[in-house]
């Protein structure tokens, strides 16, 4: 049986989550449809695996547990869009501190690709917290203005002590994420 999965760091800070939900509520415009990430699903993707055989999860966990890292702090600041203002398909919150720590873990996870036959990532790792996906937009100017208005907004700091392998079940109400295992820092 295959499962859709990815490695991620969860956003578990209630104050930052509240700030993000407040921003999301300001991004609803006429003739625009944005599917917002639910507060409980906010995360930083480290490595998207796609569909994997469920039977390899124990072996994958064993390999991932060998990734060693210390606790570190992430600072979240600024809002942006991907890929650019000409064609907006995702909205995100940026990371201004701790980028190198996330990138190091992502690189270690990427190195598992060969052993487990995962698709290699062709783009360089770019840490961001997706808060919404733009499905339809007629006039992007109000959205661009709101993004620019929040380019310098400070969201806060979080302490990272682990990352997880998550299973993603896609439903009509949105994705449901289940934690399959967690890799804790060595402190």
**Positions marked catalytic:** 43, 128
CB contact set of 134 (below 8 Å; sequence gap of 6+):
32, 33, 34, 81, 88, 89, 90, 91, 143
156 forms beta bridges with: 76
Q: Are 44 and 164 in contact (CB under 8 A)?
A: no
CB contact set of 31 (below 8 Å; sequence gap of 6+):
136, 137, 138, 139
159 forms beta bridges with: 73
């Amino acid at each position: 049986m295959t499962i859709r999965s990815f490695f991620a760091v969860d956003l578990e800070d209630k104050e930052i989550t509240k700030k993000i939900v407040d921003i999301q509520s300001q991004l609803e415009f006429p003739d625009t449809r944005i599917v917002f990430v639910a507060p409980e699903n906010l995360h930083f993707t480290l490595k998207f695996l796609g569909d994997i055989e469920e039977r390899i999860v124990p072996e994958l966990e064993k390999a991932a547990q060998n990734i060693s890292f210390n606790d570190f702090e992430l600072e979240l600041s600024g809002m942006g869009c991907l890929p650019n203002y000409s064609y907006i398909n995702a909205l995100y919150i940026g990371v201004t501190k701790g980028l190198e720590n996330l990138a190091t873990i992502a690189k270690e996870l990427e190195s598992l690709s060969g052993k487990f036959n995962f698709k290699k990532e062709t783009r360089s790792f770019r840490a961001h917290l997706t808060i919404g996906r733009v499905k339809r937009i007629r006039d992007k100017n109000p959205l661009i203005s709101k993004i620019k208005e929040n380019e310098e907004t400070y969201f806060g700091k979080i302490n990272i002590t682990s990352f997880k392998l998550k299973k993603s079940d896609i439903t009509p109400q949105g994705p449901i994420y289940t934690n399959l295992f967690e890799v804790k820092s060595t402190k």
